[in-house]
Structure 1
Amino acid sequence: PRGVGKTTTARLLAKTVNCTGRGANTEPDNTCDSCRALGENRALDIIELDAATHTGIDMVREHIIENAAVRPMQLTYKVFIIDEVHRLSPNSFDALLKTLEEPPAHVIFILATTELHKVPETIVSRCQRFTFHHIAPDVMRARLEDIAKQEKKTVENAVLETIIARSGGCMRDAESILDQLFSLGDSIGPDEANLVLPQSQGAHAYPFVRMVLAGDTQGALETINQLVTQGVSLEPFNRTVIEILRALLVSHFAPAMTFPYLEGFEQERAALTEAAATHTMEVLQEMLTAFLESLPALKNTSVPALPLELAIVRIAAVLKKPEQMPALAYSAPRAPEKNPPSAPPDAGTGSEPTSTETQNYPPLSREQATEIMNQLTAEMQKTNPSVALILRNPSAMGSVNDALVLEVAFPLYHDQLMGNGNRRLIETQLCAITGTPWKLTCRLVDKETAKETSAAEIGSLAGEIAAAFGGEVS
């Protein structure tokens, strides 16, 4: 990980191996000429290179290979510290390999990286590896308290906890935050810290998670839209929500586990655990999955709130709270009959529902299915006009078990409805409209019927497409 002392340790190692006054000790004496030269940054034989900036083979040849052949001018060893070594190009690694295999006796290489998996195995196998870890919270606290004591500053425990949580185990970030707070005065409490530290995502995320756990769909949707209005970035907000739900799920199986880097969780833990106890683990997993799957969509959507709104609606359907769903124009579905009427013909070439368990919902007539499709098209027109345009082509035929059956004349329409993520988007909106998790099935009509599509119908479709994109048919 970054900010845990890799480069600092490399410098200390370079100082230790070149110390002429340490004798049998493992620590440098910091008084000899070599130690003083290193401490004052005037040791010419300690060469630090940033591979993130100098990645090419010319840098490796000029600064490393040719330089390594020259004996040190001041110190016993010439030490090369290559930071972010994984950023070197493949050709640079190939050029460096021979020198690493047979280094001169007076040369020591220290390679530092945050992404070991990107370093070629041929390089790793020729090195002695030391793995660094995130700094433990108690160690970080002791270090921050020591710094505050040396600077004669008073920092309250609540502020230290906030710094530790914000740092994510990175000592460098923690010291940087503490240094910013020192500019506020000699005594630093939460009120002073809030002047420098940005507002935590937890201030919005924890109330939102409580709404989701309580099944308050309306409140959760209103919260998302309020955040958009306030200009809050939904991607980091969603990441915090995911971290909270993940902590809840993990703590169910490991109650003693703590989450020091998740700010505010320990204070909210009891209330959240109590709220989560009303749900099964499967429901919690579905909640976590819904927000996880919305994360990539947040980066690409033109409607920032939509991915999270779909996740909330999906969770509402899982919680089976139909009273929170918009009512339909037709009557609510009846309980399944023991001998349901015969279903429409098999969906044929269309994609079948992905679930292996088929639910037997009350069958829909063609008129009911058409009414649902009209409502669906109207709703999609508000949020996703391109999908709404696709929905104008198929004919609703009714339902089969838990699937709404549509019929299209051309393979293109079939592929558009069932692919590119459109199917899941339509199914989610269907659930929001009807309160029933209908699945979508699409089938092609026979070729003879498809040929009967008139030129007038094609012209009408072309006009709709042109209107949707602000153009005209010529």
Structure 2
Amino acid sequence: MSHTLYRKYRPQQFADIHGQVGIITTLKNQLVSGRTAHAYLFAGTRGTGKTTTARVLAKAVNCHTRAAGMFEPCGQCPSCTDITAGRSIDVIELDAATHTGVDTVREEIIENSRVLPTRDRCKIFIIDEVHMLSTSSFNALLKSLEEPPAHVIYILATTELHKIPATVASRCQRFIFQPLALSVMQEKLRAIAAAENVTVADSVVQKILAVSGGAMRDAESLLGQLLALHADTITDEVAAALLPPSSFSETIEFINRLHASDAVACFTLVAELFESGTDLVAFHDALLRRAHELMVCGATGVVPRYLGIFSDDETQQLLGATRALPAAWLGRLIAQLVEKRSLYKTIASPFLPLHLVIATTIEAAPAQRPPETKQQTPTPVAPPPRVEPNSVTTISREIIERFWPQAVQAIVTEQPSLGIVLAATAITDVRDNQIVLSVRFPMHRERLIDLKLKTRIEARLSELCGATVTYVAEYDPDLMSHDPNVAAALDTFGGRVVA
């Protein structure tokens, strides 16, 4: 029977477990001295080796040929082979995620623990995802943990240590499994590829490590999918069929545009990513990683190894981008990304979380002020010409377009966040002193028809033009195609406008 890579290459001895030196050393010493604990609590993120270590510990405790003073299981005796195959009657594995009720704990654990081992030295219970047990289940288990039979060992594994009751955790020896170092993961992936007689490009290994998020099991699963392509050499072109495309350059560009308060470019990039089939949740997570990397690189001046494995080009992009991105601003961006991340679970729109990040980050940005200079005698400047009140009754489009930039500047000075909306607004018609304003996004129209904002803009325009001016706002997704320059480019090169 064939197995997935993470099962085929699962460590079977302590020597095969990497990245958890302190934990393995402690367990070895306990085995050598014969002073194993009655209950262990293994905690850590997924794919760090908790269940694997529990099984190796169970094999070492029950190994029939392990001599005194030794710690490694033989791997050949009936007990070792049965545990490896998952059929040992004295090592009971229970998935608490699917067996949360108190009845299961009483029948499978408490009642079973009272029976002596059938063949081996100890009866060992490995309870995975133990934090999923109900409160009553924990209470039922508490007595057994407090006064366990001499022949019983409990090994509890969890990815969420904070959910374990203090009364349970205090009765166990706690071991915190750390995420594996990238160098350790890289070495193991290369060893697996060599054992499978496949050559994997360095860049592909780096992509696997980046996607796996530090979980060895996830990295091995991804490598297994690539090996299923039956290619002797896994290159970037081959891996592109399964691995998501790199969004490194896109995230750097997005953050730079966000810092420049270029809302139109940011909204457009999100739309283009969606139309190209990019998972916006994955892009959101990539933005969060990139902002963190940029903040650390800006503070240290280098790219620390623990952040990940980067190509020379990516390293240069990170260091280059940090020169223009203040750490405090990146910190605020990270806070926005973290806050909006949970919205994907509660709303149907895949756009809204990123759109909110754009709007709130740009609105929170301080207004740009010119540098202070020494006081000088001001040079008299002639005021801009304006139409005297009541000097005209009907306002032409030429006059409106003449004073529109001044009205926009006055409004944006009072409220900088409105620059996003007004910069993307176009005057498409003037009828009887009523302006027709067109926008490309529905959210911009909603902002323009807000009564308070509408009153302010109309009052400013009326003051500048010397007559009463009103406006209506219309949503026009094809607004850019009306621009003569854009129309000429479309006629020349072909294509279409992407909203």
Superposition TM-score tier, normalisation by shorter sequence: 0.5 to 0.7
Aligned to 1:5: 49
Give 1:382's match in structure 2, choosing from 442, 447, 471. Answer: 442
Aligned to 2:87: 42
| Alpha carbons of structure 1 residues 262 and 211: separation in structure 2 relative to 1, 3 Å | farther
2:154 aligned with 1:117, yes or no?
no
| Alpha carbons of structure 1 residues 313 and 101: separation in structure 2 relative to 1, 3 Å | closer
Give 1:239's match in structure 2, choosing from 279, 285, 297. Answer: 285
Q: What's the CA shift for 1:241?
A: 1.2
SS in structure 2 at match of 1:130: strand
| Alpha carbons of structure 1 residues 192 and 261: separation in structure 2 relative to 1, 3 Å | farther
Q: Note the 1:316-355 alignment, pairs <5 A.
A: 316=362, 318=365, 320=367, 328=405, 330=407, 332-333=409-410
| Alpha carbons of structure 1 residues 289 and 113: separation in structure 2 relative to 1, 3 Å | closer
Looking at structure 2, the residues matched to 211 and 388 of structure 1 have their Cα atoms a distance apart, in angstroms, of 24
Indicate conservation of the 8 Å contact 1:378/1:388, yes or no: no
Looking at structure 2, the residues matched to 245 and 335 of structure 1 have their Cα atoms a distance apart, in angstroms, of 28
Indicate conservation of the 8 Å contact 2:295/2:330, yes or no: yes
Give 2:49's aligned amino acid. G
Q: Deviations along 1:386-410, whole A, 9 cap, x unmatched?
A: 8888x44899689xxxxxxxxxxxx
Looking at structure 2, the residues matched to 32 and 54 of structure 1 have their Cα atoms a distance apart, in angstroms, of 31
Give 1:77's aligned amino acid. C
Q: Deviations along 1:312-358, whole A, 9 cap, x unmatched?
A: 35555637579xxx96562733999xxxxxxxxxxxxxxxx9xxxxx
Q: Deviations along 1:134-164, whole A, 9 cap, x unmatched?
A: 1111111111121122222211222111212
Give 2:321's match in structure 1, choosing from 246, 250, 275. Answer: 275
Q: Note the 1:291-370 alignment, pairs <5 A.
A: 291-297=337-343, 304-313=350-359, 315-316=361-362, 318=365, 320=367, 328=405, 330=407, 332-333=409-410
Looking at structure 1, the residues matched to 309 and 453 of structure 2 have their Cα atoms a distance apart, in angstroms, of 50
Aligned to 1:32: 77
Looking at structure 1, the residues matched to 173 and 339 of structure 2 have their Cα atoms a distance apart, in angstroms, of 40
Give 2:195's match in structure 1, choosing from 150, 167, 170. Answer: 150
| Alpha carbons of structure 1 residues 40 and 248: separation in structure 2 relative to 1, 3 Å | closer
Q: Note the 1:35-434 alignment, pairs <5 A.
A: 35-184=80-229, 185-202=231-248, 204-213=250-259, 216-256=262-302, 258=304, 267-297=313-343, 304-313=350-359, 315-316=361-362, 318=365, 320=367, 328=405, 330=407, 332-333=409-410, 382-383=442-443, 391-392=450-451
Indicate conservation of the 8 Å contact 1:259/1:266, yes or no: no
| Alpha carbons of structure 1 residues 312 and 43: separation in structure 2 relative to 1, 3 Å | closer
Q: What's the CA shift for 1:192?
A: 1.3
Uncovered stretches (5+) of structure 2, i.e. residues with no partner: 1-44, 370-402, 416-433, 458-499
Indicate conservation of the 8 Å contact 2:248/2:314, yes or no: no
SS in structure 1 at match of 2:158: coil
| Alpha carbons of structure 1 residues 278 and 256: separation in structure 2 relative to 1, 3 Å | closer
Looking at structure 1, the residues matched to 336 and 404 of structure 2 have their Cα atoms a distance apart, in angstroms, of 24
TM-score (norm 2): 0.63
| Alpha carbons of structure 1 residues 242 and 265: separation in structure 2 relative to 1, 3 Å | farther
| Alpha carbons of structure 1 residues 291 and 263: separation in structure 2 relative to 1, 3 Å | farther
SS in structure 2 at match of 1:152: coil
Indicate conservation of the 8 Å contact 1:19/1:35, yes or no: yes
Looking at structure 1, the residues matched to 412 and 236 of structure 2 have their Cα atoms a distance apart, in angstroms, of 57
SS in structure 2 at match of 1:14: helix
Uncovered stretches (5+) of structure 1, i.e. residues with no partner: 337-352, 354-373, 399-474
Indicate conservation of the 8 Å contact 1:202/1:264, yes or no: no
Give 2:61's aligned amino acid. V
| Alpha carbons of structure 1 residues 243 and 88: separation in structure 2 relative to 1, 3 Å | same
Give 2:57's aligned amino acid. L
- Ranked by relative contact order (alpha carbons within 8 Å, sequence separation 6 or more), the top structure is 2
Looking at structure 2, the residues matched to 301 and 238 of structure 1 have their Cα atoms a distance apart, in angstroms, of 15
Q: What's the CA shift for 1:255?
A: 3.5
SS in structure 1 at match of 2:76: coil
Indicate conservation of the 8 Å contact 2:60/2:72, yes or no: yes
TM-score (norm 1): 0.66
Q: What's the CA shift for 1:183?
A: 2.1
| Alpha carbons of structure 1 residues 76 and 265: separation in structure 2 relative to 1, 3 Å | same
Q: What's the CA shift for 1:218?
A: 3.6
Give 1:176's aligned amino acid. S
SS in structure 2 at match of 1:284: helix
Looking at structure 2, the residues matched to 293 and 277 of structure 1 have their Cα atoms a distance apart, in angstroms, of 26
Looking at structure 1, the residues matched to 368 and 352 of structure 2 have their Cα atoms a distance apart, in angstroms, of 20
Looking at structure 2, the residues matched to 162 and 260 of structure 1 have their Cα atoms a distance apart, in angstroms, of 15
Looking at structure 2, the residues matched to 383 and 117 of structure 1 have their Cα atoms a distance apart, in angstroms, of 41
Give 2:50's aligned amino acid. K
SS in structure 2 at match of 1:93: helix
Indicate conservation of the 8 Å contact 1:247/1:259, yes or no: no
Indicate conservation of the 8 Å contact 1:51/1:86, yes or no: yes
Looking at structure 2, the residues matched to 264 and 169 of structure 1 have their Cα atoms a distance apart, in angstroms, of 15
